[in-house]
Structure 1
Amino acid sequence: MPELRAARLALLLTTTMLAVLLPGTAAAQQATSFYTHSVGEQVLSDGDSLRGRPGGGRRAFQVEVVRALMRSLKHPQAIQAVPYARGYKLLQEERGVAFFNVVRTPERENSFRWVGPLQVETDYFFESASQARPVRTTEQARESRVCVLRGSAYDQVLTADGYGRLERANSYESCLRMLKAGRVDLMPVSEASMAELVEAIGIPAVEIRRTAIVAGSTTGYIAFSKDLPEAQLQRWTQAFEALRKSPQWTQLQERYLNPVRP
């Protein structure tokens, strides 16, 4: 994507100039390009960055947490939204990249540097309420058509667990539309995520049904590319822990996770 390359070049030029002028700053130590995914209507564009929409939901909250960390560390507040697979590929292949929300798994543990967690959730398989044969067992789920986010933790985990009929999509919204249209039978997601999705797309909540089958528990983090120096990892980690223990954390939850009252 030319616009991504241009934005990364602009950030690198800015931080290089800061490094020359202010050799003791965080910019002098390392420039990091931040990306997120699956933002839907939860965020607003703010120049070359994003900001959370009040009452927008979990992604709005996560964006504002990252912005708060950037402010505390005097880091350029540039965040770009990209498809999950694109962001994950950048994280794997490029230097100086941060990507959130990324599920931390044993298989990924040594591939990246981790700061968080931003969220901890239990995910269930959801199905269409009009599905003729409700899925009631894990064995049935393995034989079903399951939509997953391309390149996500569930793409990897369910493949390894014998789910042979995975349908990969670039967004959760696409998965939900496929579920509603009967093109897939299941999708794994948390109850909070599904509530946000049906509202964003405009599907009546009664048309989607949560099964009793737990897909898994996920813990989401800010993932940094492996080249992040240890000293920088500690700075981000300490900033996160300080924010997590401060009243601002609760204020961010109240402002961005709770629906806006009329």
Structure 2
Amino acid sequence: MPVLRLFAAALLLCEVGLAHAQNLVLLTENLAPFNHSVNGRNFAKDAGITGISSDTLRAVCARAGVECQQILRFPWARVYQQALNEPGYGLFSAARTPAREKQFKWVGPIASNDWVLMAKADSPIQLASLQEAARYRIGGYQGDAISQSLIDRGLPVQLALRDNKNLEKLGKGQIDLWVTADPSGRYLAKQEGVEDLRVVQRFHTAELYLALNLATPDELVQRLQEALDALRAEGELSRIVERY
């Protein structure tokens, strides 16, 4: 009898652990039009967050039967470390780079984004190759995979804690180029009242993912991926993109 009670208790603990594993906290940042707060603030929860990736993951979690709470925080470096270190947490919209590959478990792609160098519309800068950008002052976003990709190539990048600071510096002539993404960078610029920009160089197309802490059960990751694939096949993901 004691053995049966011990087995029942162990089973109950497993069930509680499994139930807990089905709840995820998904962290994000202001990266419109993929994920951003409705009111533009740097902290928001669930209903206060919108965008292509945000809406996609709501649909994915609902299809998979997983309770997912979305939280928008700032800065990116902070939420990245939290998702990296704490079980039950995930991060979106994250570029799946070789350096990050083994740090997370991945679901996606949930969206795509071009990596670009932008300049003011009246800038005379012309680039025949990405390496030629080393001759100019480049502004980037701290903790961002796009900025890091240039640093890894040996290009000097001045990193800012807030990406809109790069727009300010570009307008004041303190930097020549802004390394960002398109359409998200252009969207941010428009929100800041800056529209006189042009793309000088497109150097990569990044697929964006949900990055989950390594402690996330493989079964849960698979359910989320299957739900995403099903929604894509049904055309729901295209309908979400069309709303933006």
Q: Does 1:172 align with 2:132?
A: no
Give structure 2 stretches of 5+ with no counterpart: 1-11
**Aligned equivalent of 2:206:** 218
The alpha carbon displacement at 1:24 in A equals 8.4
- Measured against aligned partners, the alpha-carbon deviations of 1:103-125 in whole angstroms (never above 9, x if no partner) come to 00112111111101122233221
In 2, Cα distance between equivalents of 1:244 and 1:27: 27
The alpha carbon displacement at 1:101 in A equals 0.6
Cα gap change, 1:175 to 1:28, in 2 (>3 Å): same
Query: Does the 8 Å CA contact 1:188/1:215 hold for their aligned counterparts?
Result: no
User: What's the Cα RMSD here?
Assistant: 2.8
Listed as ranges, the matches of 1:147-226 within 5 Å are 147-164=139-156, 166-203=157-194, 205=195, 207-211=196-200, 213-226=201-214
The alpha carbon displacement at 1:129 in A equals 2.7
Cα gap change, 1:163 to 1:47, in 2 (>3 Å): closer
- Measured against aligned partners, the alpha-carbon deviations of 1:159-185 in whole angstroms (never above 9, x if no partner) come to 110112x12123432322222222221
Letter in 1 for 2:111: Q
In 1, Cα distance between equivalents of 2:67 and 2:144: 27
**Aligned equivalent of 1:71:** 62
Query: Does the 8 Å CA contact 1:100/1:222 hold for their aligned counterparts?
Result: yes
In 1, Cα distance between equivalents of 2:242 and 2:148: 33
**Aligned equivalent of 2:4:** none
**Aligned equivalent of 2:92:** 100
**Aligned equivalent of 1:49:** 46
Letter in 1 for 2:226: Q
Q: Which of 214, 217, 222 pairs up with 1:234?
A: 222
The alpha carbon displacement at 1:227 in A equals 1.1
Cα gap change, 1:26 to 1:69, in 2 (>3 Å): farther
Q: Which of 103, 108, 122 pairs up with 1:116?
A: 108
In 1, Cα distance between equivalents of 2:210 and 2:99: 16
Letter in 2 for 1:218: A
In 1, Cα distance between equivalents of 2:136 and 2:44: 43
Letter in 1 for 2:72: A
Q: TM-score, normalised by structure 2?
A: 0.80
Residues matched between the structures, number: 226
| Percent of aligned pairs with the same amino acid | 23
Q: Secondary structure at the match of 1:177?
A: helix
Query: Does the 8 Å CA contact 2:96/2:207 hold for their aligned counterparts?
Result: yes
Q: Secondary structure at the match of 1:78?
A: strand
The alpha carbon displacement at 1:51 in A equals 4.9
In 1, Cα distance between equivalents of 2:149 and 2:242: 33
- Measured against aligned partners, the alpha-carbon deviations of 1:45-67 in whole angstroms (never above 9, x if no partner) come to 798424555xxxxxx11111111
- Measured against aligned partners, the alpha-carbon deviations of 1:122-162 in whole angstroms (never above 9, x if no partner) come to 3221012344x524243431132222221111232211101
Q: Which of 213, 232, 236 pairs up with 1:244?
A: 232
Give structure 1 stretches of 5+ with no counterpart: 1-19, 54-59, 258-262
The alpha carbon displacement at 1:237 in A equals 0.8
Query: Does the 8 Å CA contact 2:25/2:68 hold for their aligned counterparts?
Result: no
Query: Does the 8 Å CA contact 1:26/1:73 hold for their aligned counterparts?
Result: no
Q: Secondary structure at the match of 2:102?
A: coil
Q: Secondary structure at the match of 1:183?
A: coil
- Measured against aligned partners, the alpha-carbon deviations of 1:235-260 in whole angstroms (never above 9, x if no partner) come to 111111111112322321222x2xxx
Query: Does the 8 Å CA contact 1:84/1:149 hold for their aligned counterparts?
Result: no
